[in-house]
Structure 1
Amino acid sequence: MNKIVYISFLLFFCLSSAQPGELKKHTVAKGETVAQIAQFYKVTPFDIYQLNPDAKLGIKENTILLIPKATGASAKVHEVKPGDTFYSIAKKYNLTNEQLEKANPSIDKFNLIIGQQLQLTSNGVTSNGNKTNETKTFHEVQPKETFYSISRLYDMSVSELEQLNPDVVSNLPVGYQLVIKKKANVKVEAESNPNNKVVVSETNSTDFKTYVVKPKETLFGISKEFGLSQVELVKLNPELENGLQEGMTLRVPKTQIKTNTIPIAKTTYRDLSKSVRVKETKEIVFLLPFNVSSIASDTTLSMQARLKRDSFLNMTLDFYSGALMAVDSARRLGMPLKIKFLDSKETRNSSNVVSLVHSENLKNSDIVIGPFYPQYVEKVAQLLSESNVPVISPLRETSTSYENLYQSMPSGDFVKNTMLDYLYAKNGNIIALIDNKRNATRKLLETEHKSIYITPLGEKGGFIGDSITPRLQKNKTNYFILDTGSTGMILSALNQCNKARSNGYKVELVVLEINDTFETDEIFQRLIKQKIIFPSMTKFEETLEFSNFSNSYRKKNNVFPNQFAIRGFDVTFDVMQRVLLPEGFESSVQTTSTVQLENKFDYFDRNDSGYSNKGVFIMQYQEDYSIIELD
């Protein structure tokens, strides 16, 4: 009853405040919406809801609505297109999220429907951008922005920004008008080669224009067209983090961003041992899941039996043995290091990393390596973020990141993208042969690499060969990307390669990941004859350094080192050298790439999300079973 009285009173108030002759009556037709009615009468849904508050609960056929007189100019309307988001629409028309919400109170901004019509003006709502007055300039907070990323954008410190905006220090809402210190030029930083740094000219908002994504365009292609890296393009258009779609409206430079005259060359690598300066002692702490207490309490199994059964413990001990080899090498070189190995007691469901951070006073350490499980690496990074202690994730990618978190293992998607970027750089014609079970690869290509043709599959799952021939090109290398775990599909792909070659086409077979099926006797020899190209996180090269390490390791441990032992050495030795450089650890990862025994460490800055390793090798098998690195 109270609700009915309230609605009746509100309706009476709206009617009494309207002047005679200013209102019209509209009988709702079947299927009509408030947005459609508002457009017809040149008003906004907000105007209709003011006079008909119960319409917010929904309108039905034959309902009578009161319609106000149109206010002069027609209300602007935007029809939702594929790829549109609430944020991108607001940005396109220079509105804030709040203004667009006010003009469309009945619209679910998180579930826009293609063809849906959004009003762009309402009573008291007008278009405006970053507002300025004589003494202040404002920045409108965009999704996923932080104080740190905004401070970098305007060349300010975080503390300066917080002092100007004390009301939102603990929470930075999207759409908030943040005060900045001056009419600063927005600074765009290019992702660059560490040894050939790219200098990008400063630009302001007037230097940008809108660009509508065309069919089959890719992030790679658009970024190259406008002289940006893919990272920069996403920074300018945060909605791209959800994928590129046809019809999206992007913010791009009016003219190509100019760099300095230093060319981008192939990455060169630096031997850090020649740059180490022996000064103050640095402390490196390892958090490794030995789980000593659980081993000691288990009297049912001998250590030998446990090692046979416990693969996670084996991996830990292998990594630890490689790290010890690196520590020995550092001591022989006279590096002033204090090393601590701590038991992180990790399982899938628990660890003691929180107590270790506090009890061992890790905020005063110089570097932390580990733990192994991603969720515990993230926790340690979070606890040490205020102290800015670098935390190295040695084996796995994490889903959440912090400014002080370093992902030393390239992610799966990054490995694939590196392979694809190599093929683009070779100006190849790319055709994908993908198993239905490889959903991750299929989704990656469909969202980020729409120019790549994905071969359709028949009813039984095999490739439809007739669909491939029209896609082949005589004047280019045709790269067949194969991603499958099926023996039958591998053989089918090999037949397609041979058929194309016999018809005079140049063909290379590319494998995005070497899986167990590729290594079977039935398949492997056939693939070798194809001289397959593949991305790898390790190099296959028998160097003198690797030979010396392998022999020393065998003498010490009575076995040859496996991949985890080698990685333990590489991660540890790379960190130990960087922490003793004059410029410090963080600066070194921004400017210097290295190759250790097998692993490449070529970090890139993810802005306010730490650093990720992009160290991937592009390799090719030769018919004599040797493997070479491609340029």
Structure 2
Amino acid sequence: MLRFGYSSKPIIKNSFMRNFLMFFLLLIVVQYSNAQQYKSHKVANGENVYRIAKRYNTTPEEIYKMNPTAKEGIVEGQILAIPVTNDKEYKIHTVEKGDTVYNISKKYGITPEAIYELNPEAVNGINLGQVLRIAPLQKGEPVIGNTTNTVVKDSILDNIKPLEEIRKIVSFKTHKVARKETLYGIAKKYNITIDDIKKHNKRLYSEEIKKKDRLRIPVFEKSTEVITQEGGNTTSRISTTTKYVVKPKETKFGIARRHGITIAELEQLNPKMDPGFPVGMELIVPTVIFVPLEETIESGFELYEVQPKETIYSILKRTQISSDSLFKMNPYLRDGLKAGMVITLPVQETKDSLAIDFAEVKRDDLSTMLWNFKPKKIAIMLPFGLENLEKDSRQEAEDYIKEKKGVRVAIDFYKGVLIAIDSAKTKGISSELSVFDTQKNNNVGYLKQVIATNNFDEMDAIIGPLYQANVEAIAASLKVYDTPVFSPISKKESKLYGNFFQTRPTDIMLQDKVIKFVEKDSTDKNIILIIQPGAKFEEIRKKLTAKFPAAKVAKIEKGNYLHEVNLRKVLAKNKPNWIFLESDDVSMISNINALLNAKAESNKITLFTTDKNDAFDDDNIKNEYWSKLHLHYPSIDKEFDNSIKESTTPFVARYIKENNGTIPSKYAVRGFDITYDILMRLGSADDLYHAATFEGTTEYVENKFNYAKKTLGGYFNKACYLIKFDDNLKLTVIE
């Protein structure tokens, strides 16, 4: 035995023991040296791994290495081991709305250059929510700034903080994992959480479950439910249910609000709920009612869906209302706040009720701001129609694909996705890609089965499905995990799901793009409206006449025909004529196209439309006439000109090479642009919700992205193009 003491030395009897002792002492020195390279950090309210890494001048990846469980999320009070470089710690600042490097430097009494030195990426601009290092902390100096390590105290917190449920483990069960089982399914089976399983099966923090795995399942002591002063806790409310028939104009949000439950809980009670939410549909709801049916939302108030990680304190701080007012409007909050709850709040003075909204200004390439290099898990869900591809010959399969537009679109889109995955890899962003065949439209039952048998809770993003009904069904099912779901092609918004990302600008956004352009320079212009009669064009008629009350309206005869004499009445000789043409009738468009070209020599004419539909591209209409009239139109994408060598991007060049000289379709380009943008956002932020707070617009081959979020609902891309026909059929992007 070796003994160590202050006054005596160890006795070394032979060379083996001498070598052993030297090794032992060296090990102690190394361990002591290594220990000095780490600090412990107690997680404060509102902190995340990204912010903590900034404070200690390290990276999230290094923190995850030391704290593997942090990948599952961190909570207030948790202790983390933090690798520290040169024993330095920094004051930090979280970028707020209106912040600039200059005013931040003034606030802390330093120079802008000092901020740039500590945050080189800030040279390319700063984003809302970005965390900046301000200056090194001196020994014993408290953390200052707008993001601190001190929990804000407030007298109201004692009244509103829900009691944490402490459950006692009485025994364990062994569960043998079956084929295609998921942690979510197992947790649901035993009425526990995924975290409960991982705590007692530590390897699951870094490994996935496999068939025949044996898991320790904790069995908790049954506790007596505590009845609160407002009618019982959430568990007791849901345990007593009744049937409810959906009435006209009712929504999921209103029904969830009435019963004090979350959207997710309403969906769990009604797993076969029709996403269309038809009148007369029967639902299972809790018996307890907090909000009477006859009560309506008063003017100045709105329904708000509680977002992940929000607290009652943060809602009170943001809305500037008292806790008494909040509880009076939402009595069930005394049972505690949950993500997904629908509550009543005063309307916030934000543009178009947007929670996130930035101007459409170009930002620098995200590939220059990458820091999050952990592998990204991406799922692609497209209607490949594989169940119908059991053909006897290759020719039959090709004929089938040609006939099915949805299948052609899916295959083209997927080709773009694959090139985006490879392109991101060259930037250091690797991906684990999972591909699923959605088969057909309105396939909700099949999609729920796919979700139940796969680990979608682990995905960083889902791209697809193509069809609106399907993509909404996926968003609804994955909302419980806050998994972002991107709708690649459908132009319909979803007002129901906060995890829904609409990548295609809506028709209204396209209309506004043109109208705002004309509004900016309409003072000395003769505005003319040529609008097809009928209910279909009534909305755009009202919108244009409201925006341009002095506009002249050309009379359209029966059969959607414009006489030359009626055109002459509205044209002006002494000023430019800016004309809106709104129609989907090929005959009408052809008639007006010819008339306007005949007048173009003697009148200054510029043509606009808010909707360049298929009728504008009909073979019976001469495109050179559009050039002569300099037709302006909005578009979700811009067309690259492959005849110009400089315009051929690396993506286009690679696609042509890999597809026997075939130029990529707009769907292949869109598949590339959407996927590459998602991967760049994931590489430059904690997650896609964080990335959505980036100010400005990202742009790629043909598409650009600037996500906004409404207070109630998901995210939508409002970035679109204004394009005009120049001379010689050249298309020019105006905005």
Shorter-normalised TM-score: what interval?
Answer: 0.5 to 0.7
Partner of residue 714, structure 2: 610
- CA displacement at 1:429 relative to structure 2: 4.1
Q: 1:513 to 1:152 in 2, by over 3 A?
A: farther
SS of structure 1 residue aligned to 2:318:
coil
Q: Distance in 1 between matches of 2:332 and 2:423?
A: 50
Over aligned residue pairs, what C-alpha RMSD do you find? Answer: 3.9
Counterparts in 2 of 1:529-548, with a 5 A limit? Answer: 529-542=628-641, 544=646, 546-548=648-650
Partner of residue 565, structure 1: 668
Partner of residue 527, structure 2: 430
Q: Distance in 1 between matches of 2:453 and 2:653?
A: 39
Of 542, 555, 567, which residue of structure 1 is paired with 2:657?
A: 555
Partner of residue 349, structure 2: 188
Say if 2:719 is the partner of 1:623: no
Aligned residues: 413
Contact kept, 8 Å, 1:290 with 1:316, in 2: the verdict is yes
SS of structure 1 residue aligned to 2:633:
strand
Look up the equivalent residue of 1:609 and give its one-letter code: G
Partner of residue 444, structure 1: 540
Look up the equivalent residue of 1:377 and give its one-letter code: V
Partner of residue 493, structure 1: 592
Say if 2:500 is the partner of 1:405: yes
Partner of residue 417, structure 2: 323
Matched-pair identity in %: 22
Q: Distance in 2 between matches of 1:145 and 1:537?
A: 31
Look up the equivalent residue of 1:584 and give its one-letter code: D
Q: 1:296 to 1:541 in 2, by over 3 A?
A: closer
Look up the equivalent residue of 1:294 and give its one-letter code: N
SS of structure 2 residue aligned to 1:462:
coil
Partner of residue 420, structure 1: 515
Look up the equivalent residue of 2:723 and give its one-letter code: M
Larger CA deviation: 537-546 vs 296-305: 296-305
Of 415, 437, 459, which residue of structure 1 is paired with 2:558?
A: 459
Of 281, 291, 298, which residue of structure 1 is paired with 2:385?
A: 291
- CA displacement at 1:453 relative to structure 2: 4.6
Q: Distance in 1 between matches of 2:305 and 2:559?
A: 53
- 1:144-179: CA deviation from partner (whole Å, max 9, x where unpaired): 633449996972599x89866565679xxxxxxx88
- 1:531-574: CA deviation from partner (whole Å, max 9, x where unpaired): 22121221234485743222211222223211111111111111
Partner of residue 480, structure 1: 579
Partner of residue 117, structure 2: none
Q: Distance in 1 between matches of 2:706 and 2:555?
A: 37
Counterparts in 2 of 1:208-227, with a 5 A limit? Answer: none
Q: 1:389 to 1:484 in 2, by over 3 A?
A: same
Say if 2:304 is the partner of 1:146: yes
SS of structure 2 residue aligned to 1:568:
helix
Contact kept, 8 Å, 1:363 with 1:384, in 2: the verdict is yes
Q: 1:523 to 1:331 in 2, by over 3 A?
A: same
Look up the equivalent residue of 1:436 and give its one-letter code: P
Q: Distance in 1 between matches of 2:449 and 2:394?
A: 29
- CA displacement at 1:523 relative to structure 2: 2.2
Say if 2:480 is the partner of 1:386: yes
Q: 1:463 to 1:148 in 2, by over 3 A?
A: farther
- CA displacement at 1:469 relative to structure 2: 5.2
Q: Distance in 2 between matches of 1:179 and 1:600?
A: 35
- 1:196-255: CA deviation from partner (whole Å, max 9, x where unpaired): xxxxxxxxxxxxxxxxxxxxxxxxxxxxxxxxxxx25x99xxxxxxxxxxxxxxxxxxxx
Q: Distance in 1 between matches of 2:476 and 2:640?
A: 38
Contact kept, 8 Å, 2:509 with 2:718, in 1: the verdict is yes
Say if 2:596 is the partner of 1:513: no
TM-score, length basis structure 1: 0.58
Q: Distance in 2 between matches of 1:187 and 1:435?
A: 39
Partner of residue 370, structure 1: 464
Contact kept, 8 Å, 1:346 with 1:352, in 2: the verdict is no
SS of structure 1 residue aligned to 2:530:
strand
SS of structure 2 residue aligned to 1:188:
coil
Of 575, 578, 592, which residue of structure 1 is paired with 2:678?
A: 575
Counterparts in 2 of 1:53-64, with a 5 A limit? Answer: none
Larger CA deviation: 411-420 vs 479-488: 479-488
Q: 1:606 to 1:545 in 2, by over 3 A?
A: farther
Q: Distance in 2 between matches of 1:532 and 1:157?
A: 49
- CA displacement at 1:474 relative to structure 2: 6.7
Q: 1:618 to 1:580 in 2, by over 3 A?
A: same
Identify unmatched segments of 5+ residues in structure 2.
1-295, 336-342
Q: Distance in 1 between matches of 2:555 and 2:670?
A: 39
- CA displacement at 1:430 relative to structure 2: 2.9
SS of structure 2 residue aligned to 1:381:
helix
Partner of residue 216, structure 1: none
Contact kept, 8 Å, 2:705 with 2:718, in 1: the verdict is yes
Look up the equivalent residue of 2:699 and give its one-letter code: V
Contact kept, 8 Å, 2:505 with 2:720, in 1: the verdict is yes
Q: Distance in 2 between matches of 1:432 and 1:499?
A: 18
Look up the equivalent residue of 2:468 and give its one-letter code: P
- CA displacement at 1:464 relative to structure 2: 5.3
Counterparts in 2 of 1:54-453, with a 5 A limit? Answer: 140=298, 145-148=303-306, 155=318, 167=331, 187-190=348-351, 231=352, 267-296=361-390, 302-349=396-443, 352-398=446-492, 400-401=494-495, 402-427=497-522, 428-436=525-533, 439-447=535-543, 449-450=545-546, 451=549, 453=552
Q: Distance in 1 between matches of 2:475 and 2:436?
A: 16
Q: Distance in 1 between matches of 2:630 and 2:466?
A: 35
TM-score, length basis structure 2: 0.50
Q: 1:483 to 1:570 in 2, by over 3 A?
A: same
- CA displacement at 1:577 relative to structure 2: 0.7
Look up the equivalent residue of 1:146 and give its one-letter code: Y
Q: Distance in 2 between matches of 1:348 and 1:298?
A: 28
- 1:492-516: CA deviation from partner (whole Å, max 9, x where unpaired): 424653576566x532111330524
- CA displacement at 1:417 relative to structure 2: 2.3
Contact kept, 8 Å, 2:384 with 2:407, in 1: the verdict is yes
Look up the equivalent residue of 2:509 and give its one-letter code: F
